[in-house]
Amino acid sequence: MNDSPASTPVEPAPLRVAYLVNTYPTTSGSFIRREIRGVEAQAGPVARFTLRRWDTPLVDPDDLEEDRKTQAVLEVGAVGLVKALGKSALTRPGRFLRALRQAATLGRRGRSSGQGSLRHLIYLAEACVLLDWHREAATDHVHVHFGTNSTTVALLCRTLGGPPFSFTAHGPEEFDKPLALGLDHKVRGSAFAVAVSEFGRSQLSRWVDYDQWPKLAVVHCGLDPLFLEAEPTPPPAARRLICVARLAEQKGLPILIEAAGRLKAEGVDFELTIVGDGPLRGEIEALIGRLGLGDSVRLLGWKGGPEVRELLLEHRALVLPSFAEGLPVVIMESLALGRPVVTTWVAGIPELVQPGVNGWLVPPSSVGALADAMREVLDAPVEQLDAMGRRGAARAAERHDAIVEAGKIVGLIRAGLAGEAGVGDQAERPRR
């Protein structure tokens, strides 16, 4: 008989993880904040780095708190960038030359999109600043959001001798110009790369060699408990629809306004609330005026998470007429609150929104199809919308638990640091 004491499970060692984002925090980037906090809960404190701060005033208290915790590279100023560049050139000349050649290669790739050699020299200087910050923080691993310039900086920093890195590609920007952004270089230089949907992983797979596919994982954006733990309530009888989006071309807001104008011309009674702001605000306001929608459509600007939650609950359904996406967090939030979604069949959206089950999918840019779907929502019995909303809430809870998804990131980081092959497979484990 073995009398030796039972072995005690060994607690995983704390990780010194850092996050890097091009612009952080932002109103539309709350999913990054939730992921960071989920990683902290499972791996220890996380250092937050951003290349620049958002130039729009933050309104959410959680974003304001994140802002206080975040270091911004460009705040060192031009002198600080030049000093960091010179320091790296003098103290690690071999690595610096390799990073300089790498920056030149990526710069040649990026000329077609205005990201040429000079811009990449600046990215190298930013990488030199971060190299010192990572050494001070004793960073084990840095995870980056968006496969654009922030991942370029992380790649250059790694070449200089910085920590291993990974990144999350959201789309659509990374998939619109993958060669100019050097996605293949970034995946090859990373410990692993994450997409937020299966569609996103397929697009990453298009632009990297087959031997890199095992590095590619799917980690969904996680929802705030404010949304995820909400008890679904029946939609209101009032004929109100809401759109939460940046007022930019890729979100297709003019199509929404034109569809609203068509409903108005047909005598359909409705209210449409638009939450968000952006470069097309002036054009959208003018279009609202031309179509005589001033008494039916209201623009509220940006709102914080709690306000968005309450606004979603006050409306029958979310409408999002996007032309290009990754997988919009607001769709997850709307479904989690028991509100069906009218949106387009682009990118990863059909992985979450199921026609006739928890929402409507229409062709992007089709005013007529969008107007028809909006009319159906406005005319639908509350009981039908309630049933669709409850199915949507169940699907959102199954796929977008922030703690579960952050745990996937932690697992991938640990696997990468342990030198395990095919770390992308680590994200495919069963859910708790």
**Runs of H (alpha helix) within 298-400:** 305-313, 329-336, 367-379, 382-399
**Runs of H (alpha helix) within 22-169:** 30-43, 61-69, 77-91, 93-110, 117-137, 149-159
Q: What is the pLDDT of residues 161-182, one digit of tens each?
A: 999 999 999 999 999 999 999 9
State the sign of the Cα–Cα–Cα–Cα dihedral 125, 126, 132, 135: negative
- Torsion of Cα atoms, 188 then 192 then 197 then 203, to 10°: 10
Q: Give residue 3's pLDDT band: very low, low, confident or very high (50, 70, 90).
A: very low
Determine the Cα angle at 144 with ends 102 and 411, to 5°. Answer: 115
Q: Rounded distance, CA 236 to CA 239, Å?
A: 8
Q: Give residue 27's pLDDT band: very low, low, confident or very high (50, 70, 90).
A: confident
> What pLDDT does 421 receive?
56
CB 337 within 8 A of CB 360: no
Q: How much is the average pLDDT of 61-86?
A: 96
Q: What is the SS3 assignment for 257?
A: helix
Q: How much is the average pLDDT of 397-408?
A: 95
Cα-atom radius of gyration of the chain, to the nearest Å? 23
Nearest one of 57, 48, 3 to 21, comparing CA atoms = 48
Nearest one of 51, 41, 49, 34 to 15, comparing CA atoms = 41
> What pLDDT does 422 receive?
60
- Strands (DSSP E) found in 229-293: 240-244, 271-275
What's the DSSP call for residue 325? -
Average predicted confidence (pLDDT) for the chain: 93
84 is written with which tokens?
A: 């960091």
% of the chain beyond a pLDDT of 70: 94
Give the H/E segment covering residue 260: helix 253-265
Q: What is the pLDDT of residues 264-321, one digit of tens each?
A: 999 999 999 999 999 999 999 999 999 999 999 999 998 878 899 999 999 999 999 9
What's the DSSP call for residue 355? B
351 is written with which tokens?
A: 């992985």
Nearest one of 90, 359, 392 to 230, comparing CA atoms = 392
% of the chain beyond a pLDDT of 90: 84
CB within 8 A of 60, min separation 6: which ones? 27, 30, 304, 305, 306
Q: What is the pLDDT of residues 330-342, one digit of tens each?
A: 999 999 999 999 9
1 is written with which tokens?
A: 């008989």
Q: What is the pLDDT of residues 242-271, one digit of tens each?
A: 999 999 999 999 999 999 999 999 999 999
Domains and CATH numbers, the chain: 17-222+402-426 (3.40.50.2000), 225-399 (3.40.50.2000)
Q: Rounded distance, CA 257 to CA 260, Å?
A: 5
CB within 8 A of 388, min separation 6: which ones? 340, 357, 358, 359
Q: Rounded distance, CA 289 to CA 63, Å?
A: 34
Q: How much is the average pLDDT of 320-332?
A: 94
Residue 349: C-alpha distances to residues 171, 274, 322 (Å): 12, 20, 10
> What pLDDT does 111 receive?
84
